[in-house]
Amino acid sequence: MTDTPALANDRFLRALRLQPVDRTPVWIMRQAGRYLPEYRASRARAGSFMNLCRNPEMACEVTLQPLARFPLDAAILFSDILTIPDAMGLGLDFIEGEGPRFQRPLRSAEQIRALSVPDPEDELGYVPAAVRLIRRELAGRVPLIGFAGSPWTLACYMIEGKGGTDFRRSKALLAEQPALMHELLETLAESIISYLAAQHRAGAQALMVFDSWGGILPPAHFREFSLRYLERIAQGLDLGEGDTRTPLIMFSKGANTHLPALADIGADALGLDWTISLAHARELTGDRVALQGNFDPTLLYANPEAIRNEVARVLADYGQGHGHVFNLGHGITPGVPPEHLGALVDAVHEFSPRYHG
Amino acid sequence: MTDTPALANDRFLRALRLQPVDRTPVWIMRQAGRYLPEYRASRARAGSFMNLCRNPEMACEVTLQPLARFPLDAAILFSDILTIPDAMGLGLDFIEGEGPRFQRPLRSAEQIRALSVPDPEDELGYVPAAVRLIRRELAGRVPLIGFAGSPWTLACYMIEGKGGTDFRRSKALLAEQPALMHELLETLAESIISYLAAQHRAGAQALMVFDSWGGILPPAHFREFSLRYLERIAQGLDLGEGDTRTPLIMFSKGANTHLPALADIGADALGLDWTISLAHARELTGDRVALQGNFDPTLLYANPEAIRNEVARVLADYGQGHGHVFNLGHGITPGVPPEHLGALVDAVHEFSPRYHG
């Protein structure tokens, strides 16, 4: 990226680098989403979810919507973790009320072996194009986060054909044919590295990997089939060093017993779900990484006064120190009243400066 | 209980008391359930799930079915955790394909304050009646486990009216009106103590509390709204001491970061889901309690050879020592072929003696 203005607000990047900040930065997973009426209007105009993702102008419009409402410290590219399997030819549809479906899920070794790494500037070119456009429109207000799904999470979706299952086909494949599962995960890791590198070249100022389904695995399988490939990604990306390094955030939902191992793979920060104390997570990770989270997303249905109390609790749980990025422990859900999120962001602004004395 | 024969197989009770055993005892959560064709036949004959629970002869028949197929080391009363709210007047239905529903969920402070502790020998008398009958029919072959849901888990179901939600009403009540939530939890804790005591008097030889939804809470809320009431139950039951004590098992699914605290509330054993290493759980609990688990229930869809490998892995993970009860990390699911469970039980018999040298 050249010819882009300096960042007016670098609080998010500084916290990820464990550098001093004046208050705790805050952004929200799925902040550009269905809880916003303006998002629902854009989505209706686009005709389908994937049309929104594939059109850089519309992806840019939707990415910026939450920033117009709330004083957030980062933007995140509007896209989906399933763009890679879609580009691999599995045929992605979003069924209303059911979520993503693949027309051609992986049901044979031949299908797995026939997969190839998609070109991030060709089949997936709409993604770096959206990153470039959003960077221009953001004009340095806040940093832009690029992202991808983890190899294990993408493998689950590709094998099952959809989410929301018990992943019995994926787990049976892992237990019966581990070598074949590793072939799939290696192709996916290579694809994800190339895809995140393209987002980085296009201007993404931080990267995040969503290992949404890591936490469904028994611990030995988590290490072999999820963690190993998260480490491969962290090691395979060239993100620079020191003050100019592009921070990498890893989020393995439900994998809290693995935090010490996750802190050692080369990521700059770990995302946390809401079921672990931030103080405990700091102990487990020895302050080697920044921590991002972990307000319970369902508590956004409580009233604003209760939300303020919960924000105070989460901030106090992390305590003194600069390596905390405030976020939910999972994406914001469609039924949350937007003003409840406003109460959360205001409370982070009001309560957090005392932790950065 | 008088006039009952001595136990022919006390392996399960000995393991719960951390006493030497010749091999690791095994039973399976929901072992009397829909994966068995003979269960589905009984269920069809009963007309409804609650008819099965309320009829001691049918509850006994169904309880004994898995023991006729597999050499299991314990029987568990066939019943449901929602019998208490049903006896409190909430009106329980099981909707085909949807699970339990309450006709009158708790939607006001008045409803919560009007609840009273059900008489376990009157409204709930069918439960101790089933325990007495099953003990007689078991004739000392293996011990019988009685059980109840935890206060927090029952509160969630009673407030939401059903399971499978994000529990937004329960979490909003907890955050907005904590004192009212505590009133509800105290009534439930008292009801559960009285209910488990009645099962114990009727002949239950071990007791288990299912805190199915403890793991959805942020840690501070887990301690205040779930753990505190599990401790109240452990302290409120009079189960004896030493070799004649009736062991109490607590299972807080998804609450692995709280294992050290759970080990200190006065339970004899903790249930574990499949997302934590048994070796790690032993470290965290310092061998103060026995551990029950934790085979991934979804891995029962893999082929028998893979199931045997997984059983070997779980046994090795616990390692040498007597305080392990083999089980799944959650209930067995309806689609599992019964012969796959047979492969699991056989593998526990074959592989576990080496850990009890």
pLDDT in tens, A210-267: 999 999 999 999 999 999 999 999 999 999 999 899 999 999 999 999 999 999 999 9
- DSSP conformation class of A238: -
Joined tokens for residue B109: 């402070």
Per-residue tokens: A149: 């799904």
Half-sphere exposure of B216 (CA within 13 A, CB side): 18
Predicted confidence (pLDDT) at residue B27 exceeds the cutoff of 80:
yes
Return the sign of the alpha-carbon dihedral for residues A324, A329, A333, A338: negative
Catalytic sites of B, residue numbers: 30, 34, 43, 80, 157
pLDDT of B287 > 90? The answer is no
Closest to B51 measured CA to CA, from B8, B94, B21:
B94
Give the CB-side neighbour count of residue A68, counting CA atoms within 13 A.
Answer: 12
CA-based diameter of chain A, in Å?
A: 59
Residue B218 scores a pLDDT above 60: yes
Predicted confidence at residue A95, as pLDDT, reads: 82
Query: Residues A335-353: what's their mean pLDDT?
Result: 98
ipTM of the complex: 0.94
Residues in chain B: 357
Neighbours of A183 (CB within 10 A): 15
pLDDT at B5: 64
CA distance B257 to chain A (A): 7
Residue of A nearest to B275 (CA): A218
Residue range B272-300: average pLDDT?
97
pLDDT band at B6 (very low <50, low <70, confident <90, very high): confident
Residue A150, token pair as written in the block: 């983890």
| DSSP state for residue A109 in the 8-state scheme | H
Contact between residue A84 and residue A154 where contact means Cβ atoms under 8 Å apart:
yes
pLDDT in tens, B40-86: 999 999 999 999 999 999 999 999 999 999 999 999 999 999 999 99
Q: What is the dihedral of CA B267, B268, B273, B277, to 10 degrees?
A: 120
As a whole number, the mean pLDDT across chain B is: 96
Query: Annotated catalytic, A157?
Result: yes
Asked if pLDDT for residue A330 goes beyond 70, the answer is yes
**Residue A6 pLDDT grade (very low, low, confident, very high; cuts 50, 70, 90):** confident
pLDDT given at position B4: 57
**What is the Cα Rg of chain A in Å?**
19
Task: Name which residue leads in pLDDT, A165 or B135.
Answer: B135
Average pLDDT of chain A? 96
- DSSP letters along A331-354, please? PPPTTS-HHHHHHHHHHHHHHGGG
Confidence of residue A156 (pLDDT cuts 50, 70, 90): very high
Whether residue B164 is predicted with pLDDT greater than 90 in this model: the reply is no
Strand order of the β-sheet with A75-76 is A75-76, A144-149, A206-211, A248-252, A269-271, A290-295, A324-328
Q: What is the pLDDT of residue B2?
A: 46
- Chain B residues within 8 Å of chain A (Cβ atoms): 166-169, 171-172, 175-176, 215-220, 222, 254-257, 274-277, 280, 294, 296, 298-299, 301-303, 305-307, 309-310, 313, 317, 333, 335
Which chain A residue shows the shortest CA-CA distance from B277? A219
pLDDT in tens, A70-83: 999 999 999 999 99
User: Whole-angstrom Cα distance, residue A193 to residue A189?
Assistant: 6
Which residues in B309-347 are b (16+ Cβ under 10 Å) and which e?
ebbebbbebbeebbbbbbbbbbbbbeebeeebbebbbbb
Does the pLDDT value for residue A163 go beyond 90?
Answer: no
Neighbours of B136 (CB within 10 A): 14
Pairing verdict, β B206-211 and B144-149: parallel
Q: Quick one: how far is CA B47 from the chain centroid?
A: 25
Kindly state the average pLDDT of the residues A155-165: 92
